[in-house]
Structure 1
Amino acid sequence: MAALLCFCALISAVCCAPLIETQPEQVHVSYPGEISLFMIDSCQSKQRQTVVVFIPIIFWLSVVEYGLWGGKLFSHTAEGDASVFIDGGPENRTMYVHRVTLTDLTPAASYVYHCGSDAGWSDIFYFTSLNESVSFSPRFALFGDMGNENPQSLSRLQKETQMGMYDVILHIGDFAYDMHEDNGRIGDEFMRQIQSIAAYTPYMTCPGNHEWAYNFSHYRSRFSMPGHTENLWYSWNIGPAHIISFSTEVYFYLEYGLDLLFRQYDWLQADLQEANRPENRAQRPWIITMGHRPMYCSNDDGDDCTHFQSYVRLGRNDTKPIAPGLEDLFYQYGVDLELWAHEHTYERLWPVYDYKVFNGSSEEPYVNPKAPVHIITGSAGCREKHDGFIPKPRDWSAFRSTDYGYTRMRLINGTHLYLEQVSDDQVALACVCVSVCLFVCVCVSE
């Protein structure tokens, strides 16, 4: 059995007036984490008027109509609920966020859907429900730091997603630059921009530093990730992998609560313990993490990852109690691959722990490596342009690029994982490989 969650926001106008000219938008889908579920994530609707007030939900019914691809169109209907989101800017713009869960989907089947009500319907989209098999070989696009301005990689991602090249999108923090700006209108525009990706393929996220405003309220309200932590940290399973998303920002925005840092750490430890139970690790040998600010980088700036005493890597000793870092935890529990963004570049590391390289061998560094492999992929494009690198790379740095681009990943099976970096500035693709066993890399040109 599978399920789908549709999340629709409604910006309304005149109090007690019937809703008119409403058109659902900003649709996106996501997985819920449980193997028996699949979710649609977001539709938003708006009024053209600028005065924003609360209108009772009775004026707007959250509905998703859907059916199997090639079958009777919209043969099934699911209704959802709504919540109110008020932007923290001076206008206090009010939006209604609608979520709908679809159940009893056939695993790995293609569906057509739209969402809305008699007041207005979205465009027609399609998705594929979750393949529950551990032998499933899912394909990912992953990136961070994509803005409303200069979203360099967006057009290629739009085309490739609608061609069916990906089963999942991972956006590793920093959205829109910034979702809260112009009283949330930049967030609206960005969510409209990514609808051409996120309405077709599950769009899985983690928070970045650009989501800081109003205690990350836009991020927490606009997305619907698994678990019950308002999208800040969660885990889910797909194919042979257990994927963990977490917030690096709990180490930096202590004004929002030091307890978040410790709660997340305790949750991570418990989640990794469960993932490492012999029966679970046998089914899903890959453990992959995604968080925004990296532990290591060789960029020419003053970010946390350029410091040996990185907060994310080693924790903070200026808190009471002392806040633990994540490198030892991930190393202890055998995390295979750590995905990061934040730096507006691409960097692949050798297997590394405590600043030391632990290659599998000199000839095959990524075959049975003795430490996690780190990938930094934050060059999808934003108004802050590129970052630079220090002239001489560190010993643990294997490959660096300042080109705009994003990363493709395929979980081939329980022992083979393939990555390649797409340069949006050049035609060729830079081939990247990580594995616990033997990898065959094939570079692709377009």
Structure 2
Amino acid sequence: MSVIVQYFVIITHIIIIASAFKISSKSDDISTEIVQTDNKTQPQQIHLSLGDNPTQMVATWSTMSPTDTIVRYGVGQLVTVHMGTMTNFSNGVNHDQYIHSAIMDQLTPNTSYIYQVGSGNPNEMSKIYNFTTTPIGNNWSPRFCVYGDLGFINPQSYSRILSDVNKGMYDMIIHVGDFAYDLDSNFGDMGDKFMRLMEPIAARLPYMTSPGNHENAGNFSNYKNRFRMPNNDNQNMFYSYNVGPIHFISISTEYYFYVNYGLMQLLNQYKWLAEELKTANLPENRAKQPWIIVLGHRPLYCTNSDGNDCGIAADWLRYGVPFIHLLGIEDLLYLNGVDLAIWAHEHTYERMWPVYQEKVVNSSTPGQPYFNPKATVHIVSGSAGCQEDHDEFPQVEKDYSAFHSTDYGYSRMTVYNSTHLYFEQVSDDQKGKIIDQIWLIKTKHGSFLND
């Protein structure tokens, strides 16, 4: 079948199925009064992200009037000054904002820095924040806070996450989609409130993101403009980066559902993902970053009784376009030995047994399903807190569901070395109790085809 014919078949099937399967955000926009900032040139919504290489950190912030874009930084003193870029982003009537981004580079590994952003005018500079660069190489144990679906209203887990950050428990925050509920609501005012809420956390640690369905407005324009992820050729929608012994790959699951924004972006991502995984799985790259972890919003596996999320939608992601089974993700994960996949979207926590094609494929070691498992482990962590209800679980459980909870909470992950990864779920409802934990142990990494 020629490429042109394949594209035509894909488009035809998607149009037919999308018309029968209406996919939308789970709630309407929230109507709130726009809060006007008194000093429109004062930096706000400051957050960090990793740069294109380990010697960089990127600072991003907003003002409500145009200003110069400057970051000052150094070890103990603000001795280095860099200029950045400013973009005018309009969210609608009476809500223009100016999003600034500046790179701090030539950073020394494993070193604490201070920094300050603004226009350069003393009255238009932020408070001084600090961050610590990661160690060089892969022989260290990065620590992560991981969650999805955190809103401005009822951000249940926020205070506990902030407390963890104040204790120095993490090297990075990973937010796998659905911000603010929604970034674009009330002409972007809800997004501004949420990013101001996140500043005490995100201004001190890299805040790494993936797009969710609640970011879909205007072809994800708020998400694309408000964040600056590494290797940003694809406007933050899909990208990869290394942290210690881990190769992270972040994708947009939403391309499969918002086809009204164009099919080519889905095709481009799939082609990129296939090549990215193939490269990451090469022996020389697996030797440096043995762990491959995929991040995205909608899960390939979940068991909630929540409409089509864990049925048709999950099938579409796993196997691709129905009937012709093109562009499915799961075979790529299996072929290239993806160790762990982290999703959200369901407002719950759920851990799966190692699973492929809806069948459990545990380790061959009795009683140790996560010791050299024979397929990817999938985890859903979407219970951080928002104004929407939890997604309930059915009375009859799927075989591949190992543990689930409807408690509000978030996840912690530490990758200790090339063989041991620890993952736990924190219940905010139960005052920080650890309600689930696993050790994923891999003495060998690579394609599951050989197992």
Partner of 1:66: 73
Partner of 2:114: 112
CA distance in 2, matches of 1:239, 1:270: 22
Does 1:342 find its partner at 2:345?
A: yes
Does 1:402 find its partner at 2:409?
A: no
Of Structure 1 and Structure 2, the greater strand share is in: 1
Which residues in structure 2 correspond to 1:307-346 (within 5 Å)? 307=312, 310-317=315-322, 323-346=326-349
Per-residue CA deviations over 1:190-218 (Å, capped at 9, x if unaligned) read 00001111000000000000001011000
CA distance in 1, matches of 2:342, 2:78: 38
Of Structure 1 and Structure 2, the greater helix share is in: 2
Partner of 1:222: 226
Of the three residues 239, 257, 275, the one matched with 1:252 is 257
Partner of 1:27: 46
CA distance in 2, matches of 1:435, 1:309: 24
CA distance in 2, matches of 1:310, 1:431: 26
Percent of pairs with identical residues: 49
Per-residue CA deviations over 1:164-221 (Å, capped at 9, x if unaligned) read 1100110000000001011000000000001111000000000000001011000000
Of the three residues 230, 236, 252, the one matched with 1:231 is 236
Does 1:418 find its partner at 2:422?
A: yes
Per-residue CA deviations over 1:68-106 (Å, capped at 9, x if unaligned) read 1xx3x212111111111111x4x1622211111111111
Instruction: Output the amino acid matched with 2:96.
Output: T
Instruction: Output the amino acid matched with 1:146.
Output: L
Instruction: Output the amino acid matched with 2:71.
Output: V
Partner of 1:83: 87
Unaligned runs of 5+ in 2: 1-33, 444-451
1:271 Cα deviation from its structure 2 partner: 0.6
How many residues align structurally? 403
1:385 Cα deviation from its structure 2 partner: 2.6
1:436 Cα deviation from its structure 2 partner: 3.1
1:133 Cα deviation from its structure 2 partner: 1.7
Does 1:142 find its partner at 2:146?
A: yes
Per-residue CA deviations over 1:262-294 (Å, capped at 9, x if unaligned) read 100110111111111111101111000001000
Structure-1-length-normalised TM-score: 0.87
Instruction: Output the amino acid matched with 1:413.
Output: N
Of the three residues 36, 40, 61, the one matched with 1:43 is 61
Superposed structure 1 runs of 4+ greater than 6 Å apart: none
Q: Counterpart of 1:183 in 2: which secondary structure?
A: coil
Q: Which moved more, 1:294-303 or 1:413-422?
A: 294-303
CA distance in 2, matches of 1:151, 1:308: 26
Q: Counterpart of 2:106 in 1: which secondary structure?
A: strand
Give the 3 Å change call, closer, same or farther, for CA 20–169 of structure 1 in structure 2: closer
Per-residue CA deviations over 1:113-145 (Å, capped at 9, x if unaligned) read 111120511121110123222112100000000
Partner of 1:443: none
Does 1:363 find its partner at 2:367?
A: yes
Contact 1:342–1:378 at 8 Å: present in 2 too?
Answer: yes
Per-residue CA deviations over 1:4-51 (Å, capped at 9, x if unaligned) read xxxxxxx9x9xxxxx9662111000011243x432223222236xxxx
Instruction: Output the amino acid matched with 2:149.
Output: D
Does 1:264 find its partner at 2:264?
A: no
Contact 1:286–1:336 at 8 Å: present in 2 too?
Answer: yes
Give the 3 Å change call, closer, same or farther, for CA 243–172 of structure 1 in structure 2: same
Q: Counterpart of 2:164 in 1: which secondary structure?
A: helix
